[in-house]
Amino acid sequence: MSKKVLIGVTALTLTMNAFAIEYSLKDNMLKLNSYMIQMQAAFIEGDKDKAVRTANALNGEAKMLFGDEKLMAALLPKGKENKVRIAMMSSRTIDDNVIIINASMNTAHWETAQNAYLDIQKACMRCHTLIRD
């Protein structure tokens, strides 16, 4: 009888961990999406400070999510763990373009910053397309 209880508890724990990982990925993606929306609004409004703050927040969240290759592999949907490099490359693209946004805001190169935002958006879409097939 105790073996059955132990097996049941183990199965429940594994199920809850799988749910927590899936929820965490979904939650993080929603945060990243929110930052992208806020950054787009900042560009439309011409609010350079808001664009920089949001870009840096986006980058911080992306680094937390994509900063550990093993964690990212665990967060990807079942059967997609082998595509972790795609997610890691997207994170590097985000980081590179946030650097461009920060540098461009201190100059008169507003269009360069906007193009960097679009490159971030493309990296996100590429990752989602390739991971979802």
Interior CA angle at 27 toward 19 and 62, to 5°? Answer: 120
**What pLDDT was estimated at residue 2?**
60
**What pLDDT was estimated at residue 13?**
44
Q: Domains in the chain and their CATH numbers?
A: 2-132 (1.20.120.10)
Per-residue confidence band for 133, with pLDDT thresholds at 50, 70 and 90: low
Going from the C-alpha of 81 to that of each of 4, 74, 108, 119, the distances in angstroms are: 31, 7, 42, 25
pLDDT, tens digit, for every residue of 40-83?
999 999 999 999 999 999 999 998 888 888 888 888 888 888 88
Per-residue confidence band for 106, with pLDDT thresholds at 50, 70 and 90: confident
pLDDT, tens digit, for every residue of 118-132?
999 999 999 888 887
For the chain, what percent of residues have pLDDT higher than 90? 44
93 residue type, one letter: T
**Residue-level length of the chain:** 133
